[in-house]
Amino acid sequence: MANIRIVTDTNSDLCAELREKYNIEYVKMCTVIEGKVIPADIDWKAFGSAEFYGWLREGKRVTTTQVPAGEFRAYFEQALQAGDTVIYIGCALPLSSSVNTAAVVARDLAATYPEGKIYCVDSKNCCMGEGMLAILAAQLRDAGKSAEEIVAQIQERRAYVNQFVTVGSLDMLRRAGRVKGSAAFFGNLLGVKPIIISDANGQNVPVCKVKGRRTSLDKLVELMRETVIEPASQTLYIQHADCAEDVEYLREALAPLGFADVHITTIGPVVGACIGPGAIGVWAYGKKIETAV
């Protein structure tokens, strides 16, 4: 049986500890910082997370790009030459074209490697939602499931990833075109905080707005309590964008739900460039996501 490689991308925010534990690889998107293109490294080797979020607070222009086609080609070809099967679990299509780019590269390589198998799966999630599905794929692989079985289960389970995120301010959402400038200005004055989910299509959308930081954290807790299913059998993931002081509050508030484990990590440079410093969120499997915009 061919070895099955599970690969994701920068947007998954899977830290080195989790990638090593589950034998998951990733391909890099890019950040463009003041016009300079830098591969987006989940492990913060090019620059530290505190430095990066400091740049955003200073107003430096940071944008992002999808995984370059050349990055996919190099990775896929190396895997195919080794006789391996690849399952790429990518960022939600409404947020990145990486899955489509990967599929185009895979089709192109099929002429040279007709026996090779590359599966490109839209996770319909980002951040740890995408990462959770990559972990599940790795667990299924290690349990002896075939590539086809893994892909089918990921496509089924992706609708049950529950994400609840709030932001530090509306400024980064304004820069990303998510809110109007005037709305961001008055929203910041009033302390308005949107609560953002990943909908059934993988689009990040606000489901409600609350006033005040602590109220927004309490809303994340409330929504997770309402949606989570069988917490004792899974890990709660908490991610933050340079606001570690709020992590412990969420951990303690959600402790009564009895999760088997809690994993805390930093929101990476790709998502961080869009949502900004002070963002924080929680992820777990729960009720099926039915809402779509």
Question: Does 105 share its domain with 233?
Answer: no
Q: In the chain, how many domains are there?
A: 2
For residue 292, being part of any structural domain is answered with no
Sorting pLDDT into bands at 50, 70 and 90, what band is 179?
A: very low
Last residue of one domain, picked from the residues 98, 128, 159: 159
Domain CATH code at residue 190: 3.30.1180.10
Instruction: Report the mean per-residue pLDDT for the chain.
Output: 90
Question: Does 182 share its domain with 109?
Answer: no
Domain CATH code at residue 14: 3.40.50.10170
212 close to 192: Cβ distance less than 8 angstroms: no
Query: Mean pLDDT: which of 188-192, 203-207, 211-215, 246-250 is highest?
Result: 246-250
User: Is residue 186 predicted with pLDDT exceeding 90?
Assistant: no
Question: For the purposes of burial, counting CB atoms within 10 Å of the CB of 237, is it exposed (0-12), middle (13-18) or buried (19 or more)?
Answer: buried
Structure confidence by residue, pLDDT tens digits, 113-132: 999 999 999 999 999 999 99
Question: Does 135 share its domain with 264?
Answer: no
Which has the closest alpha carbon to 163: 193, 126, 215?
Answer: 126
Tokens representing residue 241 in the block: 């964008």
For residue 140, being part of any structural domain is answered with yes
117 close to 79: Cβ distance less than 8 angstroms: no
Q: For residue 226, what are the domain limits? A: 160-285
For residue 291, being part of any structural domain is answered with no
Which has the closest alpha carbon to 98: 22, 166, 7?
Answer: 7
For residue 139, being part of any structural domain is answered with yes
Q: Where are the beta strands (DSSP E) in 137-260?
A: 161-166, 192-198, 204-211, 235-240
Structure confidence by residue, pLDDT tens digits, 16-38: 999 999 999 999 999 999 889 99
- Which is more confidently placed, 58 or 134? 134
